[in-house]
Amino acid sequence: MSDLSKRGPLARSKKDAKISGVCAGIAEYFNIEVWLVRLVAASFLIFSGTLAVIVYFVAYFIMDEKKADDKAVHTVEIKTKVWQGGQPPQRAFHEIAKEFNELEQSLQRLEGYVTSNAYKIDRELKQL
């Protein structure tokens, strides 16, 4: 399935509307920033004059207003830590200690590399 089939209908959006929501609707449909569509529309207005106004009004009358049920549903996955999951404190403590030890070992490896001659040689070779 292409990305085009996942899009909803082209509709005016009142969520980010400045005048009537035409630019906001186009931006939502193509999944681009609203300011970019407005910049293109303003440039079109400057260089074409009356034609841009006519195109905007035609788009206003052709595009339906976005319905409330057309809103995209955003789900947020929240990663819980051990102590937030209702587990016993003893287990939570062991999990935290394990994560701390892994971070400590990683930091020791990093520190060992930065203070080694290999790091100095690598840095000098990159500067060449």
DSSP for the chain, written as a single string: --GGGGS---EE-SSS-SSSSHHHHHHHHHT--HHHHHHHHHHHHHHHTHHHHHHHHHHHHHSEEPPGGGSPP---PPPPPGGGTT--HHHHHHHHHHHHHHHHHHHHHHHHHHTSHHHHHHHHHHH-
Looking at residue 75, what is its pLDDT? Answer: 59
Q: Is residue 49 part of a domain?
A: yes
Residue 94 lies in a domain: yes
59-97 residue pLDDT tens = 888 877 877 554 455 555 555 665 566 667 777 788 888
Q: Do the beta carbons of residue 11 and residue 66 sit within 8 Å?
A: yes
In a domain, 68, yes or no: no
Q: The domain containing residue 56 runs over which residues?
A: 19-62
What mean pLDDT is predicted for residues 102-123? Answer: 90
C-alpha to C-alpha distances, 43 to 27, 31, 36, 37, 40, nearest whole angstrom: 16, 20, 11, 10, 5
Q: 118 lies in a domain? A: yes
Task: Domain count for the chain, please give it.
Answer: 2
Please name the residue that has the structure tokens 């009356």: 50
Say if 7 falls within a structural domain. no
Single pTM value for the model: 0.46
> Does a structural domain hold residue 27?
yes
Residue 48 CA to its chain's centroid (Å)? 33
Q: Does some domain include residue 5?
A: no
Q: Is residue 2 included in any domain, yes or no?
A: no
Neighbours of 101 (CB within 10 A): 10
